[in-house]
Structure formats: C-alpha cells, structure tokens
Amino acid sequence: MNCLRTLLPVCALLVSSAPFAAEAPHEISVSSYASIQEALDANPGRMISVSAGDYPITGKLRILCDNTVLSGPGRIIQTNPDLPIIEIKGASGVQLRELTLTRAEGKMETARAAVLALKCRDLVLENLRVLDNRTRSGAIELRECSGSRIGGCLVRNYMRISVDDRTGSADWGYAFKCIDGTGIVVKNSKGTLLQGNRIIEQNLLPTPEIQKKFDLGKYVKKNPQKGTLMNQQMWDSGFAQNWHQGSAIIVTGPEVSDYTQILGNYIENAAQGIDIHSDHVIVSQNIINNAFMGMKAMHGSRHVLIIGNQFSKNDLWSIGLMPGASSHAAAPARDGKPAAGANVDGGSIIAHNIISDFGYGNAHWIWGNEGAPLRFDHGQKSDNPPLTDVIIEGNIVYDTGRDQVIVDGQPKIEGPRYKYAVIVEGGATEPKNLHFSNNILHPGTRGVSNVELKP
C-alpha cells in the first residue's frame, strides 16, 4: 500500500503556512509521540527510531505504508496475548531492525505471532530479538509475501503446551495434547531468504518429566470413524507418540511457495528443524542441533538442494524426502474442475552433509533405535506420485557410538543408535531412481541400508 495520498494534505499545509521552514529530520523518534502507533500513523513511509527502554502495548502495532522503517534498541512488550505484536499488511519495502519483541510475564502463551506479515513485498526483518512469544503458530509469520528477507534474528522460546486438533481431517480424525509452536513460518510466498538466524528453544524440552506433567500424547477427542491415514493400533491406543510438534523453520504452501533460500541458520532443541513444502529450495550451511527430525521435504517439494549442512543429535531422521498427502499428478479439467499441474517430489540433490551424534538427542527415549539418519519414504496416499530422481553424494553418516561416549558418567563404546544408516521404504509408491555415490555411511545395528544402494 502506497500512503502518498495520506501525506498530501499535510504537505500542502506545510508549504502554505511555513514556506521557508527547515526540512524535517530524516529519522523520527517515538519519544516525540504518545505511543509507537501514533508515531507510525503520523509518519507513513518514514524512518522511525525506537530508543532504548521498555514500551508496553495493549494493541497490535500496524504498519500499512510502503517503505516504513521501524528500528532501534527498544523493547516492545505486548500485554495482550490475543494479538500479534506487529502486523504488516499489503506494504512494500517495510523494514524492522534491531528491535526486541516480547510478551509480558504471565502473558507469554498465545496463538499469535510476534511479527505477522500479510501480502507484503521486499520485506526486511533484520537483527530482531523475538523472545518468549510462546505460540502454537509462528513467532515470525509471513503469508503471501514476495522477495522477503529474514536475517540475523534471534527467536528464543517460541513453543507452548497445546492441543493438535486433527478431527477436521478425514485423514486423521483425532486431537491430542502436545508441545507445539514454530520459530519462523513462511506460507504461500516466493523468493524468500532466511539467513543467519538463531532459533532456540530452552523452555520446553521433550523430557519424560515434561511428558508426564502435561500428559502429552493423550487423545482429548476422537471422531466416530478412524482417519484414512491412521493405523488401527495407534487409533486404538489413545496415544500419539509424535506429541512434540512444530518446527524451527517451515516453508509451506506447496503449490505456491517457490524459490526459497535457507542459509547459515543455527537451530537448537526444535521438534523438526526445517520443514519444506516448496519448490526450488536451497538448504545450505545450517546447523540443526538436537531436533528429533533434522529436516524433511515433502507434499510436492521439487528441486531441493540440500548441501553442506551439519545435523547433530537427531533421533528419528536427519534428512527425509517423501511424498505427502498433498502430492499429486497433473490432472485434466474434469467435472467442472480446472486442469491442475503436477505437484511432485524429487529432482533433488543431497550432498556434502555431515550427520553425527545420531540418537543422542533429547527424544531418543521416545523413538529408541528405530530412526535412520537418511530416510526416503513412500507416499502417504496410494495415489501420491513417488519420490523420483535424487542424487545422494559425498555425505557422512558418522556413528558416534564407535568412539568413547559418556554413558551414566562413564566412558563407553556403545555402538550405533540406529538400525540402518539409510532406509528406503517400499510399496506401490516407493522411491524411484535414487543415486548414491561417494558417501561414508557407518552401518547401523542391521547394516548400511534396508535395501541395496545402487550407484
């Protein structure tokens, strides 16, 4: 939204009443106004400085005008858990820099983002500190944006106790208690750069004590009929083992999101480190430390380049590629529905990644040795097109248990905490045309892979 029209009456008044007045300073301070919102409203499209100090707010800060810059060392404290801290809507060239965004003590749990950007272009979020925005959505959330850059930000303690309600889906049909929340959410967006961010959870870790305290995994609701993707044993058990939900970074909107770069981020204590539902993605030079899933790409993620990352202390898998329920073949126009292009998975490269300390994360007690550092899966549904055409080259899966590790305070040579270094699931929609070369894959307790790896 260009706010030039809102400035014209003010400009005309200034020219007629004070034709020789000095030009206003380039940067405006919020200290000259009763509130930050008043400073934003009075200075659309200008640079506004938030000086050091605390700024409690009860409403959300709204930025609607192109080229607005809000920056400074100030700490903005949202006291209303029902609202985001800052909402940017329909604007181009907006920048948020250096700010600390947090929520008041006792009001940190929320369903809202700290920063919510809707239909923006060329957005820059740089060196923000987003602290204790404990949400079941995303601490930073972009929807329908293009050309956005999120760089150098710290997102700390973004998760909360919640309920994952899947009763509205015929695929699942149940709801359960969980830890949930995501650091950065990018949805239905193109040309996004996420670089040099630190996304760290220190408040809620998947320990036995936390699981018992909040009864995590217990079903709180169940549909009369079992979901189509649910196995009978899990349906009957009344317990969901995957009660640690959310991601440090998720890029979703699989048929819209495109051209995404995820570079040089540090992720610690996530459930899923990086979750990709997008095409033309580069995931490079990231460190994912202590997430039970390092990363996955699914639901029609095509042309994903995963290169030069460090995956440490993952427990279920480090890198997983798979079709998801949203993957589908191209379809002609039929029954009043328009033709649809294919949304398929593959044409990807996994190269020069190091996977170490597998099975030594916080979630090993949940998953045991059932995980695999590299996983290539079949479709969730029978009509999902298979994962196809993937190069897996020059990676290292390192069995840390072959070295002396500390177990119960004593050094011990323990062996691998996984059955196979690589799992390729079979079935009608099994992966096709996987090429392995020049990898070092330390075998698990049952070997290198559950299938023969073809060069």
Q: Each residue of 164-216: pLDDT tens digit? A: 999 998 888 999 999 999 999 999 999 999 999 999 999 999 999 999 999 99
What pLDDT sits at residue 3?
A: 66
Q: What residue segments make up the domains of the chain, in order of their start?
A: 58-330+340-449
Separation of alpha carbons 281 and 321, rounded Å: 13
More confident residue, 389 or 168: 389
Note the pTM of the prediction, 2 decimals: 0.92
Residue 209 to residue 202: CA distance in whole angstroms: 15
- For residue 82, give the nearest of 106, 54, 116, 58 by alpha carbon: 58
Radius of gyration of the chain (CA): 24
Torsion of CA 140, 276, 285, 130, to 10 degrees: 10
- Token couple for 1: 């939204």
Q: 3-class DSSP state for residue 53?
A: coil
Q: Please provide the CATH number assigned to the domain covering 58-330+340-449.
A: 2.160.20
Side-chain-side CA neighbours of residue 55 (13 Å): 25
The tokens describing 340, both together, are 């649809």
pLDDT of residue 15: 33
- Residue type at 346? G
Find the length of the chain: 455
Phi, psi torsion values for 146, nearest 5 degrees? -135, 140
The pLDDT tens digits for 345-381 are 999 999 999 999 999 999 999 999 999 999 999 998 8
Token pair recorded at residue 339: 């033709």
Q: Which of 25-34, 305-314, 422-431 comes out lowest in average pLDDT?
A: 25-34
Backbone angles phi, psi at 385, to 5 degrees: -65, 145
